[in-house]
Chain A
Amino acid sequence: MKTESLEQRFQDRIDREERIEPKDWMPEKYRKTLIRQISQHAHSEIVGMLPEGNWITRAPSLRRKAALLAKVQDEAGHGLYLYAAAETLGISRDEMIEQLHDGTAKYSNIFNYPTLTWADMGTIGWLVDGAAIMNQVPLCRCSYGPYARAMVRVCKEESFHQRQGFEILLTLSRGNREQREMLQESVNRWWWPSMMMFGPNDADSPHSQQSMAWKIKRFSNDELRQKFVDVCVEQAKILNVTIPDRDLKWNEERGHYDFGKIDWDEFWRVVKGDGPCNRQRLKARIDAHENGAWVRDAAMAFAKKQSERKQAQKIAS
Chain B
Amino acid sequence: MINQEWPLWEIFIRSRNGLSHKHVGSLHAADAEMAMSNARDVYTRRSEGISIWVVESSKIVASNPEDQGPLFEPAANKVYRHPTFYDLPDGLEHM
Q: Which residues of B sit under 8 angstroms from A23, Cβ to Cβ?
A: 62, 64-65
With contacts A21-B65, A23-B62, A74-B45 taken as known, whether A302 is within 8 angstroms of B8 at the C-beta atoms is no
Report the interface size class on chain A. 20 to 34
Interface centre among A150, A296, A306 (most CB of B within 10 A): A296
Roughly how many angstroms separate A77 CA and B24 CA in the complex, as a whole number? 13
Question: Distance in Å from the Cβ of A94 to the closest Cβ of chain B?
Answer: 5
Majority SS at the chain B contact face: loop
Roughly how many angstroms separate A84 CA and B25 CA in the complex, as a whole number? 8
Indicate whether A230 reaches chain B with its CB closer than 8 angstroms.
no
Q: Is the CB of B8 within 8 A of A306?
A: no
Count of chain A to chain B residue pairs whose CB atoms are closer than 8 Å in the complex = 56
Indicate whether A293 reaches chain B with its CB closer than 8 angstroms.
yes
Q: Which residues of B sit under 8 angstroms from A24, Cβ to Cβ?
A: 65
Roughly how many angstroms separate A81 CA and B65 CA in the complex, as a whole number? 24
Q: Is the CB of B42 within 8 A of A293?
A: no
Q: Which residues of A sit under 8 angstroms from B2, Cβ to Cβ?
A: 297, 300-301
Q: Is the CB of B1 within 8 A of A150?
A: no
Interface residues of A (CB under 8 A from B): 21, 23-25, 70, 73-74, 77, 80-81, 84, 87, 92-94, 149-150, 153, 157, 293-294, 296-297, 299-303, 306-307
A-B contacts, 26 of them at CB < 8 A, read A24-B65, A70-B45, A74-B45, A80-B27, A81-B42, A84-B26, A84-B27, A92-B5, A94-B5, A150-B25, A153-B24, A153-B25, A157-B46, A294-B1, A297-B1, A297-B2, A297-B4, A299-B6, A299-B30, A299-B31, A300-B2, A300-B4, A301-B2, A302-B31, A303-B31, A303-B34
Nearest first, the 4 A-B pairs at minimum CB distance are: A299-B30, A303-B31, A303-B30, A297-B2
